[in-house]
Amino acid sequence: MTASALEFGIYPLSVAGTPAGLAAGPPDDYPRVRSALDDLGDRVVARTYLVDMEPGGQDAALALGDRYRDAGLLGHVTLGCLRDTGFDVNRWASLVRTVIGRYGDCLRSVQITNEPNLSFMDGSKSYTLDALVHGVIAAKDEIRRRGLDIDVGFGSVPHSPAALPRFWDDLAGAGGPAFTESVDFVGHNFYVDVFEDPVELTAIPGRVEEVLRNLRLRDLAAAGIPASVPIRVTENGWPTGTNPLSGARRSPDRQAEVIDAIVRAVHHLREELNISHYMLFGLRDADSSEPGLFHQFGIMRDDYTPKPAYHAFRQLIRELGP
């Protein structure tokens, strides 16, 4: 099966995770978030995160899930585990099943783990492969048991010095038929011209193609995941503010140009590489007054006024979406 059109999603909130903690600013205004999503159109679906971590653990994750459900922001959900102590695979599988049962009527997909092959995120935990494999199997089993229409997948990032070098081979060994048969998609988080020196706009499509070809032809093949399983671009974006490597200013106009180039490159490859979704990170800046790398990923400022990229993304959804 190949994708005929791109499905679109977006991270609708403000807080951004960083290697040093969270980038945050003014609190989210859920009615204004909902208004912006409605304006983008009913073909764009919110992608949010629930994480079992200290403090709070599972109870905090479910409380956050309730808040997102009540705000109409549960569509695609990523369920992660970043516990420092006390991981138990049966307890984890129970949480996965609870999420399906509690929110199944409003979920489009469940992604188990966000960046399991990134060494300083999910991949820093010794149990991550267990959480990924058993979580995917538990999610698919619970969905089938309840007769729900929810896709199940897991996340990944491209090869880099920060990625786990044997992840895909290790996943092949840890998985098996029950796992492979439960995977409906593989999510991929990648950022072009963000964590590097500036890239010419004309080079953007080639960078996108390289990342996605490597995932499909090298990594998924090594893990024994067939070409019939779609790829989803689950995190991608380009911040305004200042490039921390070069000191160059990243302008709002340039943000619109880069996002347009990336999405069109993904769309061009969608049938050949079986890519079904593009999900933008994200809707709103964490803090528009901060020029740092993680504070200005939004296509809106932190007061919900649109940048040029907002209008560009809305046009892409209407032009390239289903």
Asked whether the beta carbons of 115 and 123 are under 8 A apart, the reply is: yes
At 115-141, the pLDDT tens digits run 999 999 999 999 999 999 999 999 999
Report the phi/psi class of residue 260: left, alpha or beta, with left for phi > 0 and alpha for psi in -120 to 50: alpha
Buried b (16+ CB within 10 A) or exposed e, 33-48: beebbeebeeebbbbb
CA distance linking residue 257 with residue 253, whole number of Å: 7
Is 98's pLDDT higher than 60? yes
* Least confident segment among 18-22, 92-96, 314-318: 18-22
Judge whether residue 62 has pLDDT over 70.
Answer: yes
Alpha-carbon span 157 to 167, nearest angstrom: 11
For the beta carbon of residue 125, count every other beta carbon within 10 angstroms.
18
**What pLDDT shows up at residue 100?**
98
- Mark residue 283 as left, alpha or beta (left: phi above 0; alpha: psi -120 to 50; beta: remaining): alpha
Q: Is the pLDDT of residue 23 over 90?
A: no
Q: In the chain, what are the domains? A: 7-320 (3.20.20.80)
| Conformation bin of residue 274: beta by default, left when phi > 0, alpha when psi is -120 to 50 | left
The whole model's pTM is what?
Answer: 0.96
Written as one letter, the residue type at 310 is Y
What is the rounded end-to-end Cα distance, in angstroms, of the chain?
16
CA–CA distance, 60 with 21 (Å, rounded to integer): 18
Structural contact between residues 284 and 301, judged by C-beta atoms closer than 8 angstroms: yes
Q: Which residues pair with 241 in a beta bridge?
A: 250
Mean pLDDT calculated for residue range 34-62 = 95
Mean pLDDT over each residue of the chain, to the nearest integer? 95
Cα-trace Rg, the chain: 18
Mean pLDDT lowest among 60-64, 209-213, 278-282, 289-293 = 289-293
Residue 196 has pLDDT above 90, yes or no: no
Encoded amino acid at 36, one letter: A
Average pLDDT over residues 164-175: 97
Q: How many CB atoms lie within 10 A of CB 322?
A: 10
Q: Within a 10 A sphere around the Cβ of 195, how many other Cβ atoms? A: 12
CA-to-CA distance for 233 and 277, rounded, in angstroms? 6
Angle between the N-to-C axes of helices 89-103 and 57-70, in degrees from 0 to 180, rounded to the nearest 10: 20
pLDDT in tens, 237-281: 999 998 887 888 999 999 999 999 999 999 999 999 999 999 999
The amino acid present at 58, given as its one-letter code, is: Q
Burial class (CB in 10 A: 0-12, 13-18, 19+), 20: exposed
Write down the pLDDT at residue 197. Answer: 83
Note the pLDDT tens digit of each residue in 222-237. 999 999 999 999 999 9
Q: Quote the pLDDT of residue 17.
A: 81
- The answer to which of 13-27, 193-207, 235-249 has the lowest mean pLDDT is 13-27
User: Mean of the pLDDT values across residues 144-161?
Assistant: 97
Label residue 1 by pLDDT band (50, 70, 90): very low
- The rounded distance, in Å, linking the Cα atoms of 60 and 182 is 27
Q: Which helix (H) or strand (E) holds 277?
A: strand 275-281
Residue 2 pLDDT = 43
Handedness of CA 294, 296, 299, 303 (dihedral sign): positive
DSSP of 85-115, one letter per residue?
Answer: S---HHHHHHHHHHHHHHHTTT-SEEEE-S-
Alpha carbon distances (Å) from 171 to 118, 122, 181, 248: 14, 14, 14, 39
